[in-house]
Amino acid sequence: MTESFTPLTSAIGGGLIGLAATILLATMGRVAGISGIVKNAVFERNMDNRWRWAFIAGMLGGAAIIFWITGAAFEPRTDFPLGWTLVAGVLVGFGTSLGSGCTSGHGVCGAARTSRRSITATIIFIGTAMIVYFILRHALGVVL
């Protein structure tokens, strides 16, 4: 697996995420929580969903533009077991439902609004990730 540290592109990407979240909050009064946006776009049937689909299209379109410009978006992992990937996906989905949002909603938007609930959720997300990484890497020997 190729290791790459890209502080400039990471800072630009983070800035764009913050800008998108700020614009959404300022113009529509909505929090840019991706799991909630996708869930409501898929499962809710009303006219209020147009902005959600536009937001999703903008994320996918932005990724497509970067791929078109650079020729590569990321290097997919081929050495990680599919079973672990599926379990991880299910746990992330369960966690975002249980926590009433994901890291973009709580970590980016909620923490910026100094929401105690979101700051607590973000601390729990990060702490859980550290524990899971330690268990997988050191107790189970999974190379991450």
Domain span at 102? 7-139
Residue 61 lies in a domain: yes
Residue 71 lies in a domain: yes
- How many domains, in total, are found in the chain? 1
Long-range contacts, stretch 33-41, CB < 8 angstroms, 24+ apart: 33/101, 33/102, 33/104, 33/105, 33/106, 33/109, 34/59, 34/102, 34/104, 34/105, 35/93, 35/96, 35/97, 35/101, 35/102, 35/104, 35/105, 36/101, 36/102, 36/105
Residue 144 lies in a domain: no
- Give yes or no for residue 1 having a pLDDT over 50: no
Residue 2 lies in a domain: no
Q: In the chain, pLDDT over 70 holds for what percent of residues?
A: 93
Q: What is the pLDDT of residue 56?
A: 92
